Amino acid sequence: MHKFVLLLLVSGLCFSFGCAANPITGEDELMLDRDYHHDIKLGKDIAPKVEKALKGRIKDQVLQDYINGVGHKIARFSHNPDFDFNFVAVNDKSVNAISLPGGCIFITKGLLIKLENESQLAGVLAHETVHVVARDAENMMSKQVGMSALFILAASQARTQGEVAAANIAMQLVAVKYSREDERTADLGGMDYMFRAGYNPNGMVETMRILQKEEEANNSCDFFSTHPSPENRIDYLRARIQSHYLDGIAGTKTGEDEYRQNVLDRLKNLPDEPRR
Ligand SMILES: [Zn+2]
């Protein structure tokens, strides 16, 4: 690397880094930038690589607009709506959902066809929204791939190195495994977001049950290779509904018809393999 580029990288870090409280955990952490500008840039650099690794976006604009619309309803109630949220359905047949720094969230076709209504979809997207706001992906990436890769990616001067780093990070993010505590925070925080957005919180419990059946039926459920087993998650989510949401559940949305029309019926009419 040229000294000039190195100097730019180092000087960039001095101006950009600082400590700030994580809005979900309340703990101080190293931040790329207080206004999340770098989170968003990092996510946008990685997003095309992750999308490609997940077999590209599903080519149905009605379905994409619906998924993105449900996601944005939830993101409005997040601790930081300033992230650049974007919810994308991808062709991969694995049962999975993935969040990138800055707000890009992917959900796979393999997971979409297992779900039965809009509140279950809201549960998945709300869970991933908490991962974004808590900056879980970025914190994990800084441990797994090292801050040096993030530094290179954050520096627009290092275009070639940035491309290589983005590809590496994209592959790691698809298989990233968060801590049990991060997942619990994403479950409970996500249930709060979806409830405030008007969704029936039972949707998240139903999603866990669907994924549990999937795990029992075949051991290749990718959501559980990257997430803890659902057994005790169902228990603490049901307890949360009893203690926090029971009085407000009447009138919340389940959205079975909307989900069937905008997702399930449309997926049936799509070709199995993406057109290239
Ligand atoms: Zn998670």
CA of 216 from ligand 1 middle (Å) equals: 19
In angstroms, what is the C-alpha Rg of the chain? 19
Ligand 1 mean position, distance from CA 97 (Å): 8
Q: Count how many Cα atoms sit within 13 Å of the Cα of residue 168 in the half-sphere of its side chain.
A: 17
Rounded to the nearest angstrom, the gap between the alpha carbon of residue 36 and the centroid of all alpha carbons in its chain is 16
Residue 35 CA, ligand 1 centroid: distance in Å: 24
> How far away, in angstroms, is 258 Cα from ligand 1 center?
25
Q: Which residues contact 184 (CB under 8 A, 6 or more apart)?
A: 233, 236
Mean pLDDT of each 10-residue bin along the chain, 276 residues long = 32 36 58 64 87 93 98 94 93 91 94 97 97 85 63 54 67 75 93 97 96 76 66 91 95 98 95 57
pLDDT of residue 215: 78
Q: Which residues have a Cβ under 8 Å from the Cβ of 217 and sit 6 or more positions away?
A: none
What's residue 41's pLDDT? 85
Please give the Cα distance from 130 to 108 (Å, whole number). 18
Distance 276 CA to ligand 1 centre (A): 30
- Is residue 272 domain-resident? no
Residue 28 lies in a domain: no
Task: Tell me how far the alpha carbon of residue 61 lies from the centroid of ligand 1, in angstroms.
Answer: 26
From ligand 1's centre to the CA of 63, what distance in Å? 23
- Measured in Å, residue 68 CA sits from the centre of ligand 1 at 19
pLDDT value, residue 148: 56
> What's the CA-to-centroid distance between 141 and ligand 1, angstroms?
14
pLDDT at 163 (0 to 100):
66
**Quick check: is 12 in a domain?**
no
What span, in angstroms and rounded, lies between the C-alpha atoms of 28 and 222?
32
Copy the structure tokens of residue 137.
């992906």
Instruction: Please tell me the predicted confidence (pLDDT) of residue 23.
Output: 62
- How far apart are the CA of 144 and the centre of ligand 1, in A? 17
Structural domain includes residue 14: no
Q: What is the pLDDT of residue 40?
A: 87
Q: Distance, CA 223 to ligand 1 centroid (Å)?
A: 8
pTM of the model as a whole: 0.81
Domain membership of residue 1 (yes or no) is no
Containing structural domain, residue 244:
35-143+162-267
Residue 22 maps to a domain: no
Diameter over CA atoms, the chain? 63
CA of 1 to the centre of ligand 1 (A): 36
| Residue 83 neighbours by CB distance under 10 Å | 21
- Buried (b) or exposed (e) across 166-176, using 16+ Cβ within 10 A? bbbbbebbbeb
pLDDT at 92: 93
Q: What is the pLDDT of residue 160?
A: 63
What is the number of domains present in the chain? 1
Residue 195: inside a domain, yes or no?
Answer: yes
Q: Is 178 a member of any domain?
A: yes
Q: What's residue 66's pLDDT?
A: 98
Instruction: For tokens 């999975």, name the residue.
Output: 96
Residue 168 neighbours by CB under 8 Å, 6+ apart: 145, 149
Q: Rounded to 5 degrees, what are φ and ψ at 89? A: -95, 130
